[in-house]
């Protein structure tokens, strides 16, 4: 597809362009100021209320010395102040850098040093870990603290509410910075699965591009939507689906601060009747396994979005048959901001990620960089109007990933003759078993088809001879117990589904699998748990 064809999917952005105006101010201009923008428990905020507070955040940031294109660290749970701060940073011309509010001191120290942020907006509950890191940060000048600080605040720490109260309505300091589409707007951090998280640097136009393509043309966000998300807002997937995209059309977003669990999701759905659920396969599985699934009323949902990890066909089938709600599985990345390959409403191909989103182009290439034949696996190269400029402070990684207009993924895919893409797993997760490259994902999907298996993660592990074989961490369904007999049964099961060399040599029964901050199974953590084999656990 020619570049001109890619651009035809989105109207050109004006020379003066700021995401705060694009997402928030437009609702006021189009008469939606009194519509509910955010819902949290029994409280609600309208677009007009969020806009007024956002202006005060921008003014407070400017008063604190934040200049255009300077990073502001955002360390907040999902609450109204997240949206106010997010759009306030953009309004002031700053660059948002969103960080998980559940990290430890050493992790915050890394983000502060890496970002060189001079100001951070954090919640009072994170100060026990963030505070010591902040006091040692060389460049950090001020911290705005949201919530009850329980008394006086130390030097350099200021009450968020006091900072906003000092700003008057209609102040010139609250005006939107006259940025352009190519000015810097936000950092999206990689998951850090292969090392320290790196920031993908994005412009104002990048976020709007994904909104105009995926959100409006694929998911078809509408003013009548109520959106609920399993991932939290600091994760770019949810920043899009539960903040940016609904704000673009004047829809409503439901926020909750606690951890995402099946019970919490059922409670939120019952209380607020969302139409659109942003989820991940792990939570889809948890909801299906919950006793509450039998009586839950999910009729308000018109669609469920899934990304972040592979959606096993069995999960898709069970969810679809039990709820009648379509799942739109897709693939996105911090490098591209959001989803660029997706299934469509009324056009879902089971087990696939769908087709390329308008405004993007993708090719599957081999090690030589040339496109592979249809059906053969290879690395995915994608281009479109939301590609990041670079990884911050990492020239080598930037050059390897961003080549001209193209971004090369570390994931393996294949494409069928109809243009549907299928995920094969990460290139660095492939196992070489009996001299043949083997995908852990393929083994996991086959195990999930067994009636006893609820959740599974397959990693590579060396046997006594130093040869890599599959090792399966398994969570069983309620009422099932792990045993040597079941392990033998599962080995035999795999041998009927896949090539004989792919069966797991070891099984470890778990109550649950560890998850990362994005709700995905923490494969890296499980790999690190595997110790050298002992005589008590021989290869079989």
Helix axes of 281-289 and 313-323: crossing angle, nearest 10 degrees? 50
What residues does CATH 3.30.300.30 cover in the chain?
A: 430-529
What residues does CATH 3.40.50.12780 cover in the chain?
A: 209-426
Q: Quick one: CA torsion of 266, 270, 273, 276, rounded to 10 degrees?
A: 0
What is the DSSP pairing of strand 506-510 with strand 468-476? parallel
Tokens of 53: 């507070």
**Predicted TM-score (pTM) of this structure:** 0.87
Confidence of residue 224 (pLDDT cuts 50, 70, 90): very high
Tell me how far apart the alpha carbons of residues 143 and 160 are, in angstroms, rounded to a whole number: 9
Domain spanning 209-426 has what CATH number? Answer: 3.40.50.12780
User: pLDDT tens, 113-127?
Assistant: 999 999 999 999 999
Of 194 and 162, the structure prediction assigns the larger pLDDT to 162
Nearest Cα neighbor of 359 from 379, 329, 392, 337 is 337
Confidence of residue 334 (pLDDT cuts 50, 70, 90): very high
| Strand order across the 506-510 sheet | 453-462, 468-476, 506-510
Confidence of residue 524 (pLDDT cuts 50, 70, 90): confident
Confidence of residue 534 (pLDDT cuts 50, 70, 90): very low
Domain spanning 18-179 has what CATH number? Answer: 3.40.50.980
Confidence of residue 533 (pLDDT cuts 50, 70, 90): very low
Q: Residue 272 pLDDT more than 60?
A: yes
Which CATH number, 1.10.3470.10, 3.40.50.360, 2.60.40.1180, 3.30.300.30, labels domain 430-529? 3.30.300.30
Q: Residue 176 pLDDT more than 80?
A: yes
User: pLDDT tens, 382-417?
Assistant: 999 999 999 999 999 999 999 999 999 988 999 999
At residue 519, the pLDDT reads: 77
At residue 540, the pLDDT reads: 60
Confidence of residue 536 (pLDDT cuts 50, 70, 90): very low
User: pLDDT tens, 469-495?
Assistant: 999 999 999 999 999 999 999 999 999
Tokens of 322: 């039990």
Q: What angle do CA 436, 442, 443 make, to 5 degrees?
A: 85
Confidence of residue 535 (pLDDT cuts 50, 70, 90): very low
At residue 438, the pLDDT reads: 83
Give the single-character DSSP code of 347: B
Tell me how far apart the alpha carbons of residues 89 and 172 are, in angstroms, rounded to a whole number: 16
Q: Residue 95 pLDDT more than 70?
A: yes
40-49 burial: b if 16+ Cβ within 10 Å, else e: beeeebbbeb
What residues does CATH 3.40.50.980 cover in the chain?
A: 18-179
- Judge contact between 467 and 453, C-beta under 8 A: no
Q: Residue 1 pLDDT more than 70?
A: no
Tokens of 38: 């955010």
Q: Which of 28-42, 135-149, 181-195, 328-342 has the lowest mean pLDDT?
A: 181-195
Percentage of residues in the chain having pLDDT higher than 70: 95
At residue 191, the pLDDT reads: 77
User: pLDDT tens, 421-471?
Assistant: 999 888 778 887 877 778 898 899 999 999 999 999 999 998 876 778 999
User: pLDDT tens, 278-288?
Assistant: 999 989 999 99
Q: Residue 539 pLDDT more than 60?
A: no
Q: State the average pLDDT for the chain.
A: 93
Beta-ladder partners of 384: 360
Task: Tally the residues of the chain.
Answer: 540
Sequence-distant (6+) residues with CB within 8 A of 500 are: none
At residue 434, the pLDDT reads: 75
């Amino acid at each position: 597809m020619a570049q001109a064809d890619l651009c035809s999917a989105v109207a050109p952005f004006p020379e003066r362009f700021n995401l705060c105006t694009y997402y928030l101010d437009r609702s006021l201009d189009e008469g939606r100021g009194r519509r509910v923008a955010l819902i949290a428990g029994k409280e609600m905020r309208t677009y007009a209320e969020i806009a007024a507070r956002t202006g005060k955040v921008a003014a407070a940031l400017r008063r604190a010395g934040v200049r255009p294109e300077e990073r502001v660290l955002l360390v907040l749970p999902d609450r109204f102040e997240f949206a106010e701060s997010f759009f306030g940073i953009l309004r002031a011309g700053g660059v948002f850098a969103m960080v998980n509010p559940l990290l430890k001191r050493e992790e915050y120290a890394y983000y502060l040093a890496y970002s060189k942020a001079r100001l951070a907006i954090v919640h009072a509950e994170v100060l026990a870990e963030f505070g010591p890191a902040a006091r040692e940060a060389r460049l950090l000048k001020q911290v705005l603290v949201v919530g009850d600080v329980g008394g006086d605040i130390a030097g350099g720490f200021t009450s968020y509410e006091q900072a906003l109260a000092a700003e008057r309505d209609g102040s010139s300091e609250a005006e939107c910075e006259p940025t352009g589409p190519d000015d810097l707007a936000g950092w999206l951090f990689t998951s850090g699965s292969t090392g320290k998280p790196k920031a993908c640097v994005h412009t104002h136009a990048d976020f709007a591009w994904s909104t105009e393509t995926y959100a409006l043309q694929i998911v078809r966000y509408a003013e009548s939507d109520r959106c609920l998300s399993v991932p939290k807002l600091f994760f770019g997937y949810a920043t899009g689906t539960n903040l940016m995209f609904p704000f673009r059309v004047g829809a409503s977003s439901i926020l909750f601060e606690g951890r995402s669990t099946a019970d919490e999701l059922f409670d939120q759905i019952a209380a607020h009747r969302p139409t659109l659920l942003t989820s991940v396969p792990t939570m889809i599985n948890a909801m299906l396994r919950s006793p509450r699934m039998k009586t839950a009323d999910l009729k308000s949902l018109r669609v469920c979005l899934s990304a972040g990890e592979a959606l096993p066909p069995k999960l898709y089938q069970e969810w679809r048959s039990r709820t009648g709600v379509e799942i739109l599985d897709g693939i996105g990345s911090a490098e591209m901001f959001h989803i660029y390959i997706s299934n469509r409403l009324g056009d879902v191909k089971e087990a696939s990620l769908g087709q390329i989103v308008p405004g993007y182009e993708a090719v599957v290439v081999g090690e030589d960089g040339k496109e592979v034949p249809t059906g053969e696996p290879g690395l995915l190269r994608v281009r479109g109007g939301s590609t990041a400029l670079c990884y911050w402070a990492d020239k080598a990684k930037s050059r390897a990933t961003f080549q001209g207009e193209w971004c090369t993924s570390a994931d393996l895919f294949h494409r069928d003759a109809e243009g549907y893409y299928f995920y094969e797993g990460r290139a660095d997760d492939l196992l070489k078993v009996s001299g043949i490259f083997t995908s852990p994902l393929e083994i996991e999907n086959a195990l999930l088809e067994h009636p006893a298996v609820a959740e599974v993660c397959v990693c590579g592990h060396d046997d006594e001879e130093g040869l890599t074989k599959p090792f399966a961490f398994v969570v069983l369904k309620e009422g099932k117990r792990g045993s040597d007999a079941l392990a033998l049964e599962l080995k035999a099961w795999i041998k009927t589904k896949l090539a004989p060399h792919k069966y797991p040599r070891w099984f470890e029964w778990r109550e649950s699998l560890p998850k990362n901050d994005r709700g995905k199974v923490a494969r890296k953590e499980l790999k690190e748990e595997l110790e050298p084999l002992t005589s008590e656990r021989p290869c079989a």
